[in-house]
Amino acid sequence: MIDKVPTPTANKLTAVKGMNDLLPPDSATVEWLEAKVRGLMARFAYRNIRTPIVERTPLFVRGLGEVTDIVEKEMYCFDDRLNGDPLTLRPEATAGVVRAAIEHSLLYDGGKRLYYMGPMFRHERPQKGRYRQFDQIGAEALGFPGADVDAELILMATALWAEIGLTDVRLELNSLGQPPERLAHRQALIAYLEQNIALLDEEARRRLHSNPLRILDTKNPHMQSLVNAAPKLLDFLGEASLAHFSTLKAILDANGVAYTVNPRLVRGMDYYNLTVFEFTTDRLGSQGTVCAGGRYDYLFEQLGGKPTPAIGWALGVDRVLELAKTAGRLGTAAPLDAYAIVTDVAAMPMVLSTLQALRNSGISVQMHASSADGMGSMKSQFKRADTSGARYALIFGTDEVASQQVTVKPLRDAGTAQVTRSLADLAAWAPTLQSCV
């Protein structure tokens, strides 16, 4: 038996560094974005998929590539206590989606358009717009080889920016071609970099033979002129790869989507080929990439499946919300319709019955909860009602309860008089409480 409540100690528990709590009212902004995305995905006929947060480590090693930054430096890996299996908190979702598609034969009857939302985990230095646990929203089109689906995904992301009111977002495109083309470019790139090895920083030298394409994406200002003059992958593309890229650009042109071809644009994972793209902004400092993706036609084979074309993109929720905030377009929770003020706790059975009927009619209403001292003064209840943001106060006073009525008092429109409504006619007047959103 516990005799007393333990007193707090200096060793209080806090969240893990870089893994942040999402509290009201900020959580409402995430719900706002997710609601926009769900509506958009429905219009494009994409269906929701949810994969586990924990996957077997080999999934990411095989899928992302052993020499990628994510696998080498950023994954949260551990062994299962019961059977010793190597497990990893997912650093991205595409590999898990492909694993699920293979495991469940999801494409047995044709291609699938899918989307996901959820947390990812990477062990990197926390900073604004980059956390160790972060939410991503992504779309994946599995089983479709054509540039038309590449364009569809880019048009979808463009539609999302319009949906949430973002204008300061730029689209950059590139093509990584096919493996033989990339190999020829890789050999030429390594030869060029070896000739200029004195100009490479330590990170570039480390990547020279393991992942030279990533050197082109360096942020080191002292290496910019060097990488600008490096052999361009586009010059090594064959007829089919160039035709794929030309079709994509033609569709974007026909839809009025502005873009820049960036020959230095690469992706951090090994599984990409052909189309790659990023949506970027100057409003978020160094974390300027808002959404990125590309085609990964060989990932299914890498993970043990049949050859299957695929393409997708992912966006960082934190970055998109920060960008919406800087643009003054951040959504919020829908305002509360009503707040119930109750003078006598004995009336609560009738009050709660009424509030349930209102909620069943689609009205959002908050009940004033009783305390050890009863319901509290009318003054304190009105203060809480005002703080809640509700448009109306529903007053269940002694007279109202006795006559099976409620007084409806406007809280946001001083020019509107309060009225008394019969509870017997609730269905008729309940819609008048609905907030305009």
Strand order in the sheet with 419-422: 365-367, 338-342, 392-396, 405-410, 419-422
Q: Indicate the SS3 state at residue 260.
A: strand
Helix or strand holding residue 141 (H, E): strand 133-142
* pLDDT attached to residue 1: 42
3-state helix, strand, coil split of the chain in percent (to 5) is 40, 20, 40
Please report, for residues 329, 336, 389, 416, the alpha-carbon distance to residue 412 in angstroms, rounded to integers and kept in the order given.
Answer: 23, 12, 9, 9
* pLDDT attached to residue 269: 64
Tell me the H-state helices in 44-80: 57-64, 69
Q: Indicate the SS3 state at residue 9.
A: coil
| Cβ burial, residue 8 (10 Å; 0-12/13-18/19+) | exposed
User: In this predicted structure, which of 36-40, 77-81, 246-250 has the lowest mean pLDDT?
Assistant: 77-81
User: In this predicted structure, which of 65-79, 158-172, 268-282, 413-427 has the lowest mean pLDDT?
Assistant: 65-79
Quote the pTM value: 0.85
Please report which confidence band the pLDDT of residue 437 belongs to, taking 50, 70 and 90 as the band edges.
very low
Q: How do residues 320-377 score in pLDDT, each as one tens digit?
A: 998 888 877 777 777 899 999 998 888 889 999 999 999 999 999 998 887 766 677 8
CATH entry, 26-177+237-326, from 3.60.20.10, 3.30.360.10, 3.30.930.10, 3.40.190.10: 3.30.930.10
Determine the Cα–Cα distance for residues 129 and 123; give it in Å rounded to an integer: 14
Q: What are phi and psi of 22, to 5 degrees?
A: -110, 110
E strands, 156-200, in order: 170-175
* pLDDT attached to residue 130: 75
Which residue pairs, CB below 8 angstroms and at least 24 apart, start in 31-35? 31/333, 32/330, 32/331, 32/332, 32/333, 33/137, 33/164, 33/317, 33/320, 33/321, 33/324, 33/331, 34/117, 34/137
Please report which confidence band the pLDDT of residue 436 belongs to, taking 50, 70 and 90 as the band edges.
very low
Q: What's the mean pLDDT in 36-54? A: 97
Domains 26-177+237-326 and 338-433 share a fold: no
* Percent of the chain surpassing pLDDT 70: 94
Residues in CB range of 266: below 8 A, 6 or more apart:
174, 176, 213, 214, 216, 217, 272, 276
CATH entry, 338-433, from 3.40.50.800, 3.30.470.10, 3.40.50.1820, 3.40.50.300: 3.40.50.800
User: Does the pLDDT at position 287 exceed 70?
Assistant: no
* Percent of the chain surpassing pLDDT 90: 59
141 strand-pairing partners:
113, 311
Whether 113 and 331 have beta carbons less than 8 Å apart is answered as: no
Instruction: Give 278-310 as a DSSP string.
Output: EEE-STTTT--EEEEEEE-TTHHHHTTS----E
User: Does the pLDDT at position 2 exceed 70?
Assistant: no
Whether 312 and 296 have beta carbons less than 8 Å apart is answered as: yes
Q: How do residues 101-146 score in pLDDT, each as one tens digit?
A: 999 999 999 999 999 999 999 988 877 767 899 999 999 999 999 9
95 strand-pairing partners:
none
Pull the structure tokens for residue 10: 């200096």
Q: Which amino acid is at 289?
A: T
Nearest to 136 by CA among 153, 157, 158, 121: 121
Q: How do residues 138-181 score in pLDDT, each as one tens digit?
A: 999 999 999 999 999 999 999 999 999 888 899 999 999 998 99
Helix or strand holding residue 104 (H, E): none
**What length does the chain have?**
437
CB atoms within 10 A of CB 80: 11
Residue boundaries of the structural domains of the chain: 26-177+237-326, 338-433
